[in-house]
A and B are shown apart, each in its own frame.
Chain A
Amino acid sequence: MVALLSAETVLLVLLLVLVAGLLRSHAEILRRLGPPEEDSRAADSRLPSTAVPPPRNGRPREGAVAARIAGATPEGDALTLDFTGPAAAPTLLAFLTSGCSTCMSFWETLAERRLPAEVRIVIVTHGSERERPARLRSLAPAGVPVVMCSAAWEDYHVPGAPYFILVDGAICGEGVATTWQALASLVGDALEEQREHSPRSAGTRRGLRVDATLASGGIGPGHPSLYPGRANGGDSD
């Protein structure tokens, strides 16, 4: 009888631990998912301009978490960009308008890829309340996505066009650039500074990702497939 009671007690304790673990796991998942859709929309409308702190005394906000960008494209597609997730490369947000004459040279040449190949480029314009999609379609450079999102201009406190922000999870550089030379300098300086301050630069992260992918396939350091020249002990003395 005592043994039975003891066994039941142990089982009960184990069950309680299991339930507590499940509840905790469930709570963690709910926390990561965020509020329900309706609440999320309400929160989005309440907090349009607090995602990124404004620049202080005109100085860039390096390190500030990059705000999400969501909007329609001039073609009528929809695009949501979240910069907090893992990424292979930094992203340059080019805030342009269809009306500013200085922007025109960037509209015409952003597809030429004059920046380091690792940098992805997205053009961010105002929404359809201020821009005509047809006009943007005629300006959009081939291969460079355009997203119409006035909220992003507010979220990032963009002072005017053309304005550029380099994001890699966080803001790593920003400023006005009216020429390609100025833009290349802005991006180059930001990348250089990021490499100096972050041991996990994009290149390092790519390397780690490649390592992890190989490891998931059972290929680790010293694996024979990494040394195709060493066939059947051919490298022995």
Chain B
Amino acid sequence: MILDAHGIRVALPAGWSGKVFARSPRTATLHAGDFQLPLSEDGEFGPESTSEMPPEASFLALTEYRPGAGLKPGNGLFAPRGIRLPLDPAGFSSSGLAHPRPGQIGMQHFFSQAGRAFCLYVVIAGPRAGRRRQLLVLNHVLGSLRVAPR
């Protein structure tokens, strides 16, 4: 199923829910997970969504940063171009979580694509044994991600 809005396009496999929303005209956010995301308004890094994650689940947020005030896509923190796939399993840890919760690990990656500045935030919940499978699915979802210039 294709999710497409505000210049962000991604294909979600069966069992995944997602949304692309924009709180301001020049920033967009993608939330996706292999569980039913909360319908209430959520923060950019999905505090509501990650608080409702089942014991074994995956969640990703892609949030855009508005250029200006020193922030320039392709520079500084946002110098990396795109998302390097597959995701590095060693890059996940509890310290990578924006909202630390038991049983969850996360990673954050700041980058630029199509002249837009983003942070990719991925959270995995569940035992270590299931992470390889979860990462394969996450890589598949992120591999379908397309970003159009503004």
Contact = CB atoms under 8 A, between A and B. Distances in A.
A222 to B, nearest CB: 18
Contact of A77 (B16, B20, B103): B20
A216 B55 contact: yes
A interface bracket (residues with beta carbon within 8 Å of B): 35 or more
B133 A70 contact: no
A82 B11 contact: no
Nearest to A84: B15
A25 to B, nearest CB: 8
- Chain A contact residues, majority secondary structure: mixed
A51 to B, nearest CB: 12
Contacts of B54: 86, 209, 212
Interface stretch (A5-13, A36-44, A100-108, A154-162): A36-44
A76 B6 contact: yes
Contacts of A145: 39
A216 B102 contact: yes
Contact of B19 (A44, A80, A212): A80
Contacts of B137: 29, 32-33
Contacts of A78: 3-5, 18-21
B86 interface: no
B13 interface: yes
Contacts of B21: 73, 75, 77-78
Contacts of B22: 75-77
A33 B20 contact: no
Contacts of B39: 91, 120-122, 145
